[in-house]
Amino acid sequence: MGEDITISLKNVSKCFKRYARPVERLKEILLPGKSRADEFWALHNINLDIFKGETVGIVGRNGSGKSTLLQIIAGTLTPTTGEVKVNGRISALLELGSGFNPEFTGRQNVFFNGRLLGLTQGEIENKLDDILGFADIGEFIDEPVKTYSSGMFVRLAFAVAVNVEPEILIVDEALSVGDGVFVHRCMAKIKSFQDAGGTILFVSHDTGTVARLCGKVIWINQGNIVEIGEPDVISRHYQAWMYEQINDYQKKYAQEQLTENEQNPEKVENVPQNLIKQQKESIKSNPFTEKKYKSYNNVERFGTGRAEIINIEVLDINNANIGFVYPKDKIKLVIQIVSFDRIKMPIVGIALCDRLRTTITSLNTDQYNYKLSSLLPHQLLTVEFQLDWPEIQGDNYVLECAVACGTQEQHEMLDWLQSPLNIMSGVIDLTFGIFRIPNIEISHRVKAYGHDLKTNSKVLEGNMNY
């Protein structure tokens, strides 16, 4: 392993054995030669090199193997096969409270953890004031940690982890339980650690935070590395995959509900038969996924394909296309969508993202209680959002747009265009974070689309001001 490589994994796999009953484990020990366990492989042939000074994010759904990988790197688990090499002192925040004895006081656990990390008694005493000041839990430091809230627990654990001068810092979802002020302090400390040349492994479900902190992201699923790349690329691919899982789950749930209704007709005796028929048709294999999109072919997109975004524009008040705006400029975001199927409850939304694809703000018609007209096949829906450009710092931003069917809480994603349009914002002194845009006007219209219709559909219009 070269000096510039901090962490190296070669063909690392991890298998856990699961026994139906505790006695089966005993039988396997006393009567070797026959396995009595079900094997679960949490990791499969992981090959990975992390270089000194890198900040690497790891994303993946629960149960994908992220925590197992971190524990192997930290040394709290050994791999079943493969080789792990680590060059440098590791400080890890893994599962909440790992490495803490619940019967010990917070102060005792500081010394206990420090010794586990290789510090001498004197070194820990020299750092104690910094640790206690950062944790800021007051008199609770001399109380047993079993009495701590989850927030107090992670405050103390993080304070120890970042103040023992590690060369490698591992953070596994630990900041999700902290309060806002403490999380900001943690992020500032992480930035300082990065500036000092430290190596960081950061696990989070928040792809926005991962994008802001990390220079490289690893996507893990079912114990395998799916993809390694730049944060904005991985976040797009991961988001698309997650929506595929959601759509598949909703389809499976609809099928289960339909089966239950057919097996228990007395529960649905008052449900019209045409509604049950519609249910059956809606969960058939989707015939729209094979459609070729009519435009934006070079833009990554995902969805079931029952409707398609064919155009998005940013216009000024004179309806001229623009690519540069100043704060408080009045603009129009116009999105055009073609339906290929009946869409009962369409939702149209937009998201404003920065260059790392961190969402600055987002909005949709359902969020503002604006009900769009139902769509029949081969109709063109045009939705227009009128708003004041927000007071954000001058930079390049990306507008994304999506169309779904359902409600904000539960919907089928029909089409999502990822980063189809760039817009430059002028420089100002005032910068906001995530916010709700005021003074929005939304309007829409629906008309027939294409040349294969024998009759024209009635034009439906609506608008609403906020």
Q: What is the pLDDT of residue 431?
A: 41
The parent domain of residue 185 ranges over 5-88+167-236
Residue 381 shares a structural domain with residue 460: yes
- Are 201 and 307 members of one domain? no
In the prediction, which pLDDT does 350 show? Answer: 93
Query: Quick check: 12 pLDDT over 70?
Result: yes
Is the same domain home to 195 and 306? no
The answer to whether position 126 is within a domain reads no
Higher pLDDT, 431 or 73: 73
Is 398 part of a structural domain of the chain? yes
Lowest pLDDT segment from 110-114, 196-200, 362-366 = 110-114
Q: Is residue 348 part of a domain?
A: yes
In one-letter notation, the amino acid at residue 312 is I
- pLDDT category of residue 187 using cuts at 50, 70 and 90: confident
33: left (phi over 0), alpha (psi -120 to 50) or beta: left
| Assessment of whether the complete model's pTM goes beyond 0.75 | no
* pLDDT above 90 as % of the chain: 24
- Do the domain assignments include residue 122? no
DSSP string, 288-347: TTTPPPSS-TTS-EES-SSEEEEEEEEE-TTS-B-SEE-TT-EEEEEEEEEESS-BSSEE
Query: How many domains is the chain built from?
Result: 2
Is residue 34 in some structural domain?
yes
- Is 425 in contact with 392 (CB distance < 8 Å)? yes
Say if residue 214 is in the same domain as residue 317. Answer: no
| Same domain, residue pair 229 and 303 | no
Does 304 share its domain with 229?
no
Based on the fold, state whether residues 364 and 440 are members of the same structural domain.
yes
The band of 121, judged by pLDDT with boundaries at 50, 70 and 90, is confident
Q: Are residues 421 and 310 in the same domain?
A: yes
Q: Are residues 311 and 228 in the same domain?
A: no
Task: Give the C-alpha separation, 379 to 35, whole Å.
Answer: 61
The confidence score (pLDDT) of residue 463 equals 63
Count the Cβ atoms, other than its own, within 10 Å of residue 356: 17
CATH number for the domain harbouring residue 227 = 3.40.50.300
Average pLDDT over residues 154-161: 82
What span, in angstroms and rounded, lies between the C-alpha atoms of 275 and 267? 14
Q: Is residue 287 part of a domain?
A: no
Q: Are residues 321 and 208 in the same domain?
A: no
Q: Which structure tokens are listed for 198? A: 């430290």
Q: Across 91-105, 223-237, 353-367, which has the greatest mean pLDDT?
A: 223-237
| Residue-level pLDDT at 262 | 61
Q: Could you say which of 214, 236, 258 is where a domain stops?
A: 236
Q: Locate 222 and state its tokens.
A: 């079912």
> What is the rounded CA–CA span in Å between residue 338 and residue 327?
32
Name every residue whose Cβ is closer than 8 Å to that of residue 204 and which is 6 or more positions away in sequence.
Answer: 57, 59, 173, 175, 176, 210
Output the pLDDT for position 279: 45
Q: Are residues 186 and 309 in the same domain?
A: no
Predicted confidence (pLDDT) per residue in 417-460, tens digit: 887 777 887 654 444 444 456 677 888 888 887 655 444 445 55
118-137 burial, b for 16+ CB within 10 Å, e for fewer?
A: ebeeeebeebbeebbebbeb
Residue 259 has pLDDT above 70, yes or no: no
pLDDT of residue 436: 53
Would residue 154 count as lying in a domain? no
Tell the burial category of 14 from Cβ atoms under 10 Å away from its Cβ (0-12, 13-18, 19+). Answer: buried
Question: Nearest CA to 368 among 440, 311, 271, 297?
Answer: 440
DSSP 426: P
Last residue of a domain, one of 206, 236, 266: 236
Q: What is the pLDDT of residues 210-241, one digit of tens each?
A: 888 889 999 999 999 999 999 888 988 888 88
Q: Are residues 223 and 307 in the same domain?
A: no
Sheet holding 330-339, edge to edge: 307-315, 330-339, 379-388, 441-448, 460-465
Question: For the chain, how far is it from start to end, CA to CA, in angstroms?
Answer: 61
Q: How far is CA 241 from the centre of its chain?
A: 11
CATH (domain of 336): 2.70.50.60
Q: Is the pLDDT assigned to residue 329 strictly greater than 50?
A: yes
More confident: 452 or 260: 260
Q: Is the pLDDT of residue 163 over 90?
A: no
**Residue at 193 is within a domain:** yes
Secondary structure of residue 25 in the 3-state scheme = helix
Confidence of residue 385 (pLDDT cuts 50, 70, 90): very high
